[in-house]
Amino acid sequence: MRAAVLGGGPGGLNFAISLKLRDASHDVVVIERNRPNDTFGWGVVLSDETLGNLNTNDPVSSKAIRDSFVYWDDIAVHYRGAVMRSGGHGFSGIGRKRLLNILQERALSLGVKIQFETEAAPPDSYKDFDIVVGADGVNSRVRTAYADAFKPDIDVRACKYIWLGTHQKFDDAFTFIFEETEHGWIWVHAYQFDADTATFIVECSEATWRRFGFDRMGIDETIALCEKIFARNLGGHKLMSNARHLRGSAWLNFNRVLCERWSHKNIVLLGDAAATAHFSVGSGSKLAMESAIALANYLDSEPDMASAFRRYEDERRLEVLRLQNAARNSTEWFEDVERYFDLDPVQFNYSLLTRSQRISHENLRQRDPQWLSGAEKWFEQKATGYTPNAARPPMFVPFRVRGIELANRVCVSPMAQYRAENGTPNEWHFVHYAERAKGGAGLVFTEMTCISPEGRISPGCTGLYSPEHERAWKRIVDFVHSETSAKIAIQLGHSGAKGSTQLGWEESDAPLKAGNWAVMAPSAVPWSRENQMPREMSRADMDKIRDEFVRSTEMAARIGFDWLELHYAHGYLMSSFITPLTNRRSDEYGGSLENRMRFPLEVFRAVRKAWPDDKPISVRISAHDWVGPDGIRPQDAVEIARILTEAGVDLIDVSAGQTSTRARPVYGRMFQTPFSDRIRNEAGVATLAVGNIYEPDHVNSILMAGRADLVCLARPHLTDPYWTLHAAAELRYDGVNWPKPYWPGRDQLYRLKSRSEAMTGKV
Ligand SMILES: Cc1cc2nc3c(=O)[nH]c(=O)nc-3n(C[C@H](O)[C@H](O)[C@H](O)COP(=O)(O)OP(=O)(O)OC[C@H]3O[C@@H](n4cnc5c(N)ncnc54)[C@H](O)[C@@H]3O)c2cc1C
Ligand SMILES: Cc1cc2nc3c(=O)[nH]c(=O)nc-3n(C[C@H](O)[C@H](O)[C@H](O)COP(=O)(O)O)c2cc1C
């Protein structure tokens, strides 16, 4: 086979080596515009796993790479005058030039021809070659030449960065330096890559970059200013650029590249040309080199080129997407970092370490147990005011708001049971809520409980509008208080245009087959074409609804509920006032956000007056309509949260969606937590996070990083009412309250856990 490899970076060279290793008779030519010793950039980081993969493919070059490595274990974070250091992270770095020289030498020794200082011609000029590999980096011309076939999607990210080097030593830790200046925050990612040189990447927001005037500076001025800003960290050493060949300033925006296809006829993309991963997760070279190996493998093992390309794409795309996901989280963390500058250094550090969501709480414990236990103690000290002797997982740290203290931070999220008749909770509800309260959660929410018969979603919904309801709920609340350490919250709501619909397990949100009742909403906008047209609410309707909320609140107060939540999410009545998708009013209750919030605020204020002062009120909102700019987006949710908090709401329960049939939600693990994070840290309010959070590790990471104050789990509590007690056993934490009659079961569970730990050698 004759192969033309356009671009001699880590991807192109490793492909050439890998192809030759599989069949020495292949004729492989690498075309590289630079000289062998030219290179932009400085050092790259490679993990042990990548090295293992390189070693299996080619022990010779991998040994040379390993011999040139600089290793370090710690991450140091310089922030607000403190230096925080955690260990166990295990990095290795190598100079990019050294890496390329090793690969060039190895390629030449295997008979690869490298044409340096040669500009690649358009891909279709290589007619004598069987395969043309586009390994020409992030600005790939091969990709551009066949953009119609590859369908690239290039996302230019917000921050500005410049890749510099220095002889100052950063050999004991991968170092992040955050500097506050008169023009805003600016930060550095620094790491050693050979005995006397370190990479020094400077990054900041575009606004800060302009305020500094970097947009008007040449490279020398830029370097002089960066040296001044980071003088304390440079110990008199200079910063150096090796990007002087680039035109204009060497500052860049990171381009996230995705391509719908990676191959076209006999042309195939590799490395940064096909997909990039942000430098803050340090995986671009890894992706390029591992993809190179996979491509060579399939060209060798598959019967023809088309199936080799197919297998290459199938295998690598998954890995690339996984890394791009983590890289996106990490990129966004740096883009939004100004939001976190109010965090205490310990929490800031934790948030930074877990930013990609690839490293969890328990991963951190494995890496540096001492550091994590210090962070856990800090968390508890901040919450309770006293320094504990022993650390406990953040989820088991009590939470206090007004006169209510929750024993821990796990909540049973509100979940409609569709089991009531005429709104009255029955034996099902008694057993259901009693079991969840026995299961250890700090707070158990009731399902959305409706303020009137017409306010119910379905005929099976619970209500709180009659003495019978009051009696039935009181029986449940009394049990929770007398037999468990959980607190219990009532969620009050009105269904609006989504009312008079079928039970959850029937055709959800579809109208009843018979016996529909009339529905109302802020505007005459039906939930869907199949649903009833709601009546547009008059001021008299609003008075009635407000008074019904107050009536239910008074009942909840008499019953003794500990906490009240108003359901302003998911497209029900209050939510449909807030989102412009369903509020089309032209009076003072429609139009601007201020107007759309007017009635929900009026209800809240009336409810607050009727609710005991020493008990909290949370409001659940939909922080994203998932329909683009027509609907609520997370930045609007921050405003909504601010308005509610100023009115006296204690916590925002941050849910999302279910406000429009047009919504296109993006699901995933903890997918709504970023909205809680944003609201908590931008609006400065306490939040509850919810949505696909199912492991103790998720809960601890969210709390410790300051992404929420409490965590709600819904579906996990349907399969396991004792989720919290089981989580405690999993984490070997023995400070939770098991019901006394269950102590023998608890003891056996902990014994079995210890035994299996001893057997697997995990201590
Ligand atoms: C600031 C920064 C820090 C980074 N840190 C890391 C890190 O720590 N770890 C890591 O793994 N990755 C890191 N990366 C990413 C990494 O550098 C790239 O992902 C990696 O180099 C991709 O390899 P490649 O072979 O696909 O492309 P490149 O390395 O870009 O190689 C492409 C080659 O093609 C040549 N070329 C381009 N066009 C032509 C043409 N028309 N004719 C001839 N030759 C051409 C170029 O000269 C170049 O040599 C970092 C990137 C940046 C920007
Ligand atoms: C069966 C069921 C009923 C629900 N009922 C309500 C409800 O009454 N009020 C509410 O705010 N959310 C309700 N939700 C949404 C949950 O509280 C939660 O936000 C959602 O399920 C995501 O959390 P999870 O991934 O832990 O399940 C319900 C969810 C389920 C699965």
Distance between Cα 384 and ligand 1 center (Å):
50
295: Cβ below 6 Å to ligand 2?
no
Which residue's alpha carbon is at the smallest distance from atom 31 of ligand 2?
Answer: 715
Nearest residue CA, atom 6 of ligand 2? 415
Span 253-262, pLDDT tens digits? 999 999 999 9
Q: Which of 410, 413, 502 to mutate to test the pocket of ligand 2 (most atoms within 8 A of CB)?
A: 413
Note whether 189 and 279 are within 8 A (CB): yes
633 C-alpha to center of ligand 1: Å?
Answer: 36
For residue 48, the tally of other CB atoms under 10 A from its CB is: 12
Per-residue CA distances from 190 to 10, 67, 92, 285 (Å): 21, 21, 13, 17
The pLDDT value given to residue 763: 46
Confidence (pTM)? 0.91
> Which atom of ligand 1 is least distant from the CA of 12?
25
Query: What mean pLDDT do residues 318-334 have?
Result: 91
Q: Does ligand 2 have an atom closer than 6 angstroms to the CB of 459?
A: no
Please name the residue whose Cα sits nearest to atom 4 of ligand 2: 415
**Measuring from atom 51 of ligand 1, which residue has the nearest CA?**
279
Question: Atom of ligand 1 at shortest distance to CA of 191?
Answer: 8
- How many Å lie between the centroid of ligand 2 and the Cα of residue 413? 6
Whole-angstrom Cα distance, residue 165 to residue 198?
A: 6
- Distance, in Å, from the CA atom of 735 to the CA atom of 732, rounded to the nearest integer, reads 9
Would the CA dihedral through 129, 133, 136, 138 be positive or negative? positive
Average pLDDT of span 200-229 = 96
- CB 567 near ligand 2, within 6 Å: yes
- Residue 759: which pLDDT band, with cuts at 50, 70 and 90? confident
Looking at the CA of 571, name the nearest ligand: 2
pLDDT(247) > 60: no
Q: What ligand has the least distance to the C-alpha of 269?
A: 1
Q: Is there an atom of ligand 2 within 6 Å of 448 CB?
A: yes
Ligand 2 midpoint to CA 655 (Å): 9
Q: Which of 285, 287, 319 most suits a substitution to test ligand 1, by most atoms within 8 Å of the C-beta?
A: 285
CA-nearest residue, atom 1 of ligand 2: 415
Specify the residue with its C-alpha closest to ligand 1, atom 11.
285
Long-range pairs for 60-67: beta carbons < 8 A, 24 or more residues apart? 60/106, 61/17, 61/102, 61/103, 61/106, 64/102, 64/105, 64/106, 65/94, 65/99, 65/102
Ligand 1 probe mutation, 279, 281, 324, 356, most atoms within 8 A of CB: 279
Token pair of 712, please?
């709600």
- C-alpha 144 to ligand 1 mean position (Å): 17
Q: Each residue of 69-120: pLDDT tens digit?
A: 988 899 999 999 899 999 998 888 899 999 999 999 999 999 999 999 999 9
The answer to whether 30 and 12 are in contact (CB under 8 A) is yes
Quote the ligand 1 centre to 32 CA distance (angstroms): 12
Tell me the pLDDT tens digit for each residue of 601-649: 999 999 999 999 999 999 999 999 999 999 999 999 999 999 999 999 9
Structure tokens at 472: 């039935």
Strand partners, 6: 31, 134
In tens, the pLDDT along 147-168 reads 999 999 999 999 999 999 999 9
Question: Which ligand minimizes its atom distance to the CA of 188?
Answer: 1
Rounded CA-CA distance 39/243 in Å is 8
Answer whether 620 contacts ligand 2 (Cβ < 6 A): yes
> Ligand 1 centre and the CA of 274: distance in Å?
12
Q: Are 64 and 18 in contact (CB under 8 A)?
A: no
316 lines ligand 2 (CB under 6 A): no
Residue 255: enclosing H or E segment and its boundaries?
Answer: strand 252-259
| Residue located nearest, by CA, to atom 3 of ligand 2 | 415
Ligand 1 is surrounded, with C-beta below 6 A, by 7-12, 31-34, 41, 44-45, 119-120, 135-137, 141, 163, 201, 271-273, 279, 282-286, 288
pLDDT at site 358? 86
Amino acid 452 reads: S
Q: Are 388 and 420 in contact (CB under 8 A)?
A: no
- Atom 41, ligand 1: which residue's CA is nearest? 120
Q: Which residues are within 8 A (CB) of 130 and not within 5 positions of it... i.e. 6 or more apart?
A: 1, 2, 3, 266, 305
Is the per-residue pLDDT at 760 higher than 80? no
Ligand 2 atom with the smallest distance to the CA of 655 is 19
Residue with tokens 């509020």: 583
CA 50 to ligand 1: nearest atom: 11
Cβ-Cβ contacts under 8 Å for 679 (sequence gap 6 or more): 623, 634, 637, 638, 641, 652, 654, 685, 687
CA distance 93 to 523: 61
**416 Cβ below 6 A of ligand 2:** yes
What separation in Å is there between the alpha carbon of 294 and the centre of ligand 1? 18
pLDDT band with cut points at 50, 70 and 90 for residue 462? very high
Q: What is the DSSP string of 380-392?
A: HHHHHSS--SS--
Q: Residue 762 above 60 pLDDT? A: no
Q: Is 530 helix (H, G, I), strand (E, B) or coil?
A: coil
pLDDT over 90 for what percent of the chain? 90
Distance (angstroms) between ligand 1 centre and the Cα of 272 equals 7
Mean pLDDT confidence for 706-711? 98
Least confident of 43-52, 288-297, 489-498: 43-52
Judged by its nearest atom, the ligand closest to the C-alpha of residue 416 is 2
User: What pLDDT is attached to residue 37?
Assistant: 85
Q: Cα separation of 495 and 527, whole Å?
A: 11
Report, as an integer, the average pLDDT of 516-532. Answer: 97
Q: Which residues contact 131 (CB under 8 A, 6 or more apart)?
A: 1, 2, 3, 4, 266, 267, 268, 299, 305
- Rounded to the nearest angstrom, the distance between the alpha carbon of 9 and the centre of ligand 1 is 6
CB of 688 shorter than 6 A to ligand 2: no
Ligand 1 pocket mutation pick from 203, 272, 276 by most atoms within 8 angstroms of CB: 272
Ligand 2 binding pocket includes 412 (Cβ within 6 Å): no
Q: Is the pLDDT of residue 569 over 90?
A: yes
CB < 8 Å & 24+ apart, contacts of 334-337: 334/159, 334/187, 334/203, 334/280, 335/157, 335/158, 335/159, 335/205, 336/678, 337/178, 337/185, 337/187
Q: Which amino acid type is present at position 369? A: P
- Helix ranges, 494-610 (H): 539-559, 573-578, 593-596, 598-610
Burial class (CB in 10 A: 0-12, 13-18, 19+), 592: exposed
Nearest bound ligand to CA 457? 2
pLDDT of 435-449, one tens digit each?
A: 999 999 999 999 999
Ligand 2 center from residue 493 Cα (angstroms):
14
Active centre residues (catalytic)? 572
For residue 51, the CA-to-ligand 2 centroid distance in Å is 45
In the predicted structure, residue 248 carries a pLDDT above the cut 60: no
% the chain with pLDDT above 70: 98
Residue type, 684: G
DSSP string for 295-324 = HHHHHHHSSSHHHHHHHHHHHHHHHHHHHH
Atom of ligand 2 nearest to the CA of 620: 11
Burial (CB count within 10 angstroms: exposed 0-12, middle 13-18, buried 19+), residue 619 = buried
> Taking a C-beta distance cutoff of 8 angstroms, is the pair 432, 420 a contact?
no
**Whole-number mean pLDDT of the chain?**
95
* Residue identifier of the C-alpha nearest atom 2 of ligand 1: 279
DSSP3 helix / strand / coil % (the chain, rounded to 5) = 40, 20, 35
Closest ligand 1 atom to 140 CA: 38
Nearest protein CA to atom 1 of ligand 1, as residue: 163
Residue type, 303: P
Rounded to whole angstroms, the Cα distance separating 508 from 135 reads: 51
pLDDT at 49: 82
Q: Measure 650 CA to ligand 2 centroid, in angstroms.
A: 21
pLDDT at 686 over 70: yes
Pick the atom of ligand 2 nearest to 692's CA: 25
CB 527 within 8 A of CB 663: no
Cα distance between residue 595 and residue 603, in whole Å:
14
